[in-house]
Amino acid sequence: MHPHTSNVPGMPTEPDPLAQVNDGMTVFDVAGEKVGTVTAVQTPGTDVRPELVAGQAEGYMADGYLRVDTSGVLSADAYVSGSEIADVSEVDGGVVTLRVPKEQLPRAGQGGTP
């Protein structure tokens, strides 16, 4: 069963935060620090593999994930698992708030936290 789906018939369900995210939205971590801008949204069960190590990549593919441009010349894009999204808002062109600090996000090509 999907993590945001009620297992009680007739009960309202909480919308899946990942399904509310669009390219171009700004991402902030749990402390309110800017992480970057969403450049890709992959739904749960995607066949699109993130640039992460084996095992970690498959987990992100199963949960769905965001690819976030963290800016800066030497900055690698960050990946956000669908389960790490706390809230999605339409204010200011769209804001994604995470449940984790940006330092815990794995980076493209690095296969783990920086």
The CA radius of gyration of the chain, in Å to the nearest whole number, is: 14
In a domain, 8, yes or no: no
Strand locations in the chain (E): 26-28, 34-42, 65-69, 78-81, 85-89, 95-98
pTM of the model: 0.81
Q: Are 109 and 76 in contact (CB under 8 A)?
A: yes
* Mean of pLDDT over the chain: 86
> Looking at the domain assignment, is residue 76 inside a domain?
yes
Residue 31 in any domain: the answer is yes
Q: In this structure, is residue 86 part of a structural domain?
A: yes
Q: What is the domain extent for residue 36?
A: 17-100
Q: Kindly state whether residue 37 falls inside one of the protein's structural domains.
A: yes
Q: CB count, 10 Å around CB of 17?
A: 19
Number of domains in the chain: 1
> Which sign does the torsion angle of CA 50, 111, 59, 23 carry?
negative
Residue bearing tokens 């640039």: 51
- Is residue 53 a part of any domain in this protein? yes
pLDDT digits (tens, 9 = 90+) for 45-96: 999 999 999 999 999 999 999 999 998 666 789 999 999 999 999 988 899 9
Q: What is the CATH number of the domain that holds 55?
A: 2.30.30
pLDDT tier at 9, thresholds 50, 70, 90: low
